[in-house]
Structures are given as C-alpha cells and as structure tokens.
Structure 1
Amino acid sequence: MTGQIILAPMEGVLDPLMRDILTRVGGIDQCVAEFIRVTNTRLPESVFLRHAPELASGGQTSAGVPVTVQLLGCCPSMLALNAERAAELGAPAIDLNFGCPSKTVNRHRGGAIMLETPDEIYEIVKAVRAAVPAAIPVTAKMRLGYRNKSLALENARAIAEAGAEGLTVHARTKVEGYKPPAHWGWIARIREAVKIPVTANGEVWSREDYWRCRVESGCEDVMIGRGLIAQPNLAIEIKGRQQGNVSTGSNWCVAQEALRHYFEQLETVRPAYVQGRIKQWLHMMKPQHPEAAVLFDQVKRLQDISVLKEVLFAAPAT
C-alpha cells in the first residue's frame, strides 16, 4: 500500500534551503514551493527564481525531488499569464492556492477567502489550465471552507470541472486555522464528489497519524508540512512502514544533522537569518524531540552567531 509524500508549502518556514535539506534526508516524493502572490502584472523571472530557485536546476531540489510552483491571487487572466511564465521557466507543475488563512492575504482576495466564491475559483482554474501546456499538470490546494464547510463539495467540483489534474485538501476551514482535529472524513466526501486524484493534508505528526489519515480520507497521497519540520525523518519512517520495517521512532541524530546543515547553508548565503531561522526550527521540533527543547533553552537568548554555532555543534548526538 504505497503513496506519495508531498512536502507542503509554508510561507516563511519551508524556504528553498529547508526544502533542500529535508529532501536530502529522504522519503519525500514532491515539494510545493511557497506561494507567489499575483496581482496585476506579469512577474519578472527574478520573482519566480526567488521563490523557486530550483527552476534553474530542472525544477528539482539537489536530491532530485520535483518542486511545484504555487500561485496565489484572484484575477484569472493575471494568474494565467504568470502560470504561463512559470511553465516557460521550467516548472514541473503549477498549483493554485485557495487555502492560505493569512488575514492580510485574505483581505486582498487571495487564499482561503476565494472559497466563498466557487464560480471565481472555476474561472481561475479554467484560465490557468488553458494557458499552460497540456504536459504540465495544474493542481489546486483548498481548505474545507472559509467560515464553514457548506461549500466544500461545490469548491472541489469547481476545481475538478475547470480542468485541474489534482486537488489537495487541508482538512480544516480558515476559521479553524491549525487547531486540531483535522477532519479527514470530509476529504473522503470530497473524493467521492470528484473524479480527479485527491491528496490529504492536515495534522499528520507521526506514522500513526499518517495511516489514520489515509484510512479516514481514502487518499493514497498525503501532504505534510509541520510534521516534517518537527521530525525531519518522518517521511523515511513512513516509507519504512510501507516496506514492512519496524519504526525507529523520532530520531534526534537525523534532526541534529539537518539543523547543523541548515546553519552552515544559512551562514553562507543568508547570514542575517541564522539566528531567527535556527531558533524557529528548534522551537518547532520541541513537540517531537525533548532534546530540541533543551537545546532551544540554551540558545534562545544568544545574540552572537559564533556562540550559537558553538552550542549547536557541541551538543552530543543521542
């Protein structure tokens, strides 16, 4: 019983460096880049390369994992124009964001707010599908709704009928945010309503969560974001079970190696971000790794990057 594991886009967290590191750890089959905001212009190549520098390397991370370009906006013609540009630059697939819960994004008619208007979603997907070569898949990601779930099936049908080749569903509404639980059973209802592949997303933190999600949603493919950040070896653990291997559990050695690699990469290309990003990742690892909580307490008030490096690289692996 196999299925693909897809690394979710997370604005301000899963940047290109993080994608590179997590796909090197292994087990991830696809990635979706952080969304590119589309307003009223055809964006320059530099914007696409900033969000998805993998476009310069065949649309893949260094580990050979394909990276989908994601667009967010509300204007069908402008989204189509920019999807066409992404395809020209070598994007292996185009994804449309109808799930972002950010108040700022929603206020400017992007992300989850579009779930209030299924007709507009249909027009966006239709326009983008028409603009992109047939060989390049167009997919979409949605939540179960904005305020409630009343339009969930209608939105899913709009996406499918407009020509999308796939749909990822984050099993919560915008109002529910990231508060547990994720309503995986609703994804099963959506699967029954559309004839395109559906990917499940939301509240997968462990191998056990992954399998419960698959059973309740009926989906073969699962998208994971925060769970892979908290436990970088989670995808390997999941693939191990698919192959009949016994779980090794949360592996701090893998997480520690990933943190150190991330530090070295940031120190080289984005030194101003080292402090914030390392502390952010340690904080997000705390629920899965007691060792991360200890290390976070040691570094959270440090301001000297050299001292931070000394502590990070001196901590013994367990």
Structure 2
Amino acid sequence: MQLLLAPMEGLLDFVLRDVLTRIGGADRCVSEFIRISGTLLPERVFLRFMPELANGSRTLAGVPVRAQLLGSDPVSVAENAAFLATLGPEGIDLNFGCPARTVNRHGGGASMLQDPESIARLVAAVRRAVPGHLPVSAKMRLGFDDRGRMRECAQAMVESGACELVVHARTKADGYRPPAYWEQIPLIREAVGPHIPIIANGEIWSVQDALRCREQSGCADLMLGRGSVADPGLALAIRAALAQGVPFVDTFADAVPATLPPLLPWAQMLPHMQRFWVLVCEHLTPNQRGGRLKQWLNLLRRRYPEAETAYQQVRILTDQNAISQWLEQQLAAHAPGQHA
C-alpha cells in the first residue's frame, strides 16, 4: 500500500510536509500547485513552493516530493515542466482537480474536465518535454458539473502519457462537501485498464474511512489530505490496522470504531507543533504566522479534545512572542511527570 500526502493550497505546504513526514507513514508527497500562466518561471519560484528541490526532492525526513503544475496552455506548461525537470524533482504531477473559482475562470484545474481533448494536448506536451525516466502523473476529480465525461478524461490522461492517476472522488460542483463517491472510481479503472496505478482521494478522516475507501474504490493506495492534517498519526494508524490483519472488506471496516483515539497523544503532538511554529516564523511573513497555527489547531479540534482549548487560547493572540510563550507553557505543562 502506498499512502500519499495531498497538495493543498495554503494548508499542506512545505512546512506541514516537513512535520507530517517526520511523524511518519507517508510514502510520497505532492507539492501545492505551481500556477503556470504564460511565462517561464524562474528557479526561485519553484523553490518557494517546493524547497525540497534543494534536498534531492525529499523532505528532511527523506520522503520524496512530486511537483504539481497547474495551467491550461500546453506550450507554456511544457516549457516550465522542462525547466523544472532540470531542478531534479521526483516527478511532475498535473492538476485537473482544483475547484477554485479563480483557477477555473482562467481555464485551469477542474475546468479542463469539460474538454478531454485539451487534457490530452496538455499531458502529451508535458510528457514530450521532460526526460523519459521522470514520472508524469495527474490528479483529477470525477468531473466539472457532473460525472458524464470522467472516463473520457481519465483515458485522455493515460493515453497521452500519464503514468498514474489520483482521483478525488467528487466533482468540481461537489466542492469539498461530503460524501466522496469512492464507488465511482472502479468505472475509471475499467476505462484506463488494470496497469495504471490509481490512487483514491477524498473524505478520508479515519482508519474506518480508509478501509471503506479501499473496499469501495478497489484502490489499495490512498491520498490523505485534511484527514492527515487533523490527525497527523492517521497514516501510521492505517498501516497499523492493516498490519494487524484487518481484512480488505467493508463489513470489517464497521468493526473499527470511528472514535478510536489518535495514535499520537496530545503530549507527543506538542513538540511537532513547536517545530511547525519555528518553521512558520522562519519562512512566512509576520502577518501569516499566527493564522497558520490557528488554521492547524482548528483542524486538530476534529480529533483532539485538547485542541479545542488550545484553539480558544491561541485565537485571541496576535503577537508572535505571546504565541511562542504559550507553546512553551504547553510543552512544560505536558512534560513527563507533569499534570496538564
């Protein structure tokens, strides 16, 4: 089983990639999308989105990172892909799934799912532009307004040279509203054949969700997004459940309680949170720093009761030093031998 960390603009960036891959469980990451809009981007832009390029395209924990490009012009995307290839990425991923209105208005992301021929031209151009050994993969949704062309789109990607597909099991119109329609992914599998790896993505928040997704999608491999941000030990917990012999059938997924406590207790989470804060303060502008920690705490509330209190305490803090002091106090309060 392969477990991938999803690209999530403004959330799962290089800072969280560093933290989550240190915790463990992920086999590969994908960068936030790098938008291509008609110009050849300089090296510094690629490094800003994916500083791992300076470390052999790996996080400091050694997990490979694939660069994701988003654009609609085959010539421009291919030229940028060719330059990016000289920087040594693990691979190049193409975004056909972003639902953002600004992206779709300019013909990128999920909007391309309305035109399989444009997808084919883009994938083929990138495949021709980069060395043959470099993987070119694609991430898609089930469609734009509906699922009518999902098989045609997937075929266009694979026949034009994509070696792997990640399928976010919702349409653009579905946005991020539950549920994810994992049961639609086998139709894509039928369309592209048995030899192309397909990775299921969407609404995987727990071990139970992961088991259900594997059964309904027919995919052994999964991509985790918000679920891993809300529960940083989720990938390890999924691996542990499978290692313990939980069968690959949906009926047994019912036997896995949805309310299992996080694999990583809150006291063990706090040092990771402190590292996150240090990296945020080193790499982000002052007006972004506090918001990033609050954003993460907000998602952690989904799995950690302690995160609710932490979020309420931090949300009123605006000074960087005050937040640093709060973190030090939390670490001291939850140190071995102390009572929170």
TM-score by length of 2: 0.90
In the superposition, relative to structure 1, how do residues 145 and 254 fare at CA in structure 2: closer, same or farther (>3 Å)? Answer: farther
Q: Given residue 287 of structure 1, which amino acid in structure 2 is its aligned partner?
A: R
Mapped to 1, the partners of 2:79 and 2:211 lie a distance apart of: 39
Q: How many aligned positions are there?
A: 316
Q: Could you tell which deviates more after superposition, 260-269 or 216-225?
A: 260-269
Deviations 1:61-120 (A, max 9, x none): 001111000000101111111111111110110000000010001111110000000110
Mapped to 1, the partners of 2:186 and 2:79 lie a distance apart of: 33
Question: Partner residue of 1:288?
Answer: 303
Mapped to 2, the partners of 1:64 and 1:130 lie a distance apart of: 29
Q: 1:271 Cα shift?
A: 5.6
Deviations 1:133-180 (A, max 9, x none): 111110000000111111111111111111110000000001110000
Mapped to 2, the partners of 1:271 and 1:312 lie a distance apart of: 19
Deviations 1:213-251 (A, max 9, x none): 011001111001100100111111111122228997313
Question: Partner residue of 1:256?
Answer: 270
Mapped to 2, the partners of 1:148 and 1:256 lie a distance apart of: 42
Q: Given residue 179 of structure 2, which amino acid in structure 1 is its aligned partner?
A: P
Question: Partner residue of 1:47?
Answer: 45
Question: Partner residue of 1:240?
Answer: 240
In the superposition, relative to structure 1, how do residues 292 and 70 fare at CA in structure 2: closer, same or farther (>3 Å)? Answer: same
Deviations 1:35-73 (A, max 9, x none): 111111211111111111111110100011110000001
Question: Partner residue of 2:282?
Answer: 268
Mapped to 2, the partners of 1:156 and 1:61 lie a distance apart of: 30
Correspondence list, 1:1-318, <5 A: 3-195=1-193, 196-244=196-244, 249-250=261-262, 251=264, 252-270=266-284, 272=286, 273-315=288-330, 316-317=333-334
Q: 1:277 Cα shift?
A: 0.6
Mapped to 2, the partners of 1:253 and 1:143 lie a distance apart of: 37
Return structure 1 stretches of 4+ with deviation > 4 angstroms.
Answer: 245-248
Q: 1:312 Cα shift?
A: 2.4
Q: 1:310 Cα shift?
A: 2.1
Mapped to 2, the partners of 1:173 and 1:54 lie a distance apart of: 31
Mapped to 1, the partners of 2:76 and 2:216 lie a distance apart of: 37
- Structure 2 unaligned spans of 5+: 247-255, 335-339
Mapped to 2, the partners of 1:109 and 1:311 lie a distance apart of: 44
Quote the RMSD (CA, aligned, Å).
1.5
Say whether the 8 Å CA contact 1:5–1:221 is kept in structure 2. Answer: yes
Identity %: 49
Q: Given residue 301 of structure 2, which amino acid in structure 1 is its aligned partner?
A: K
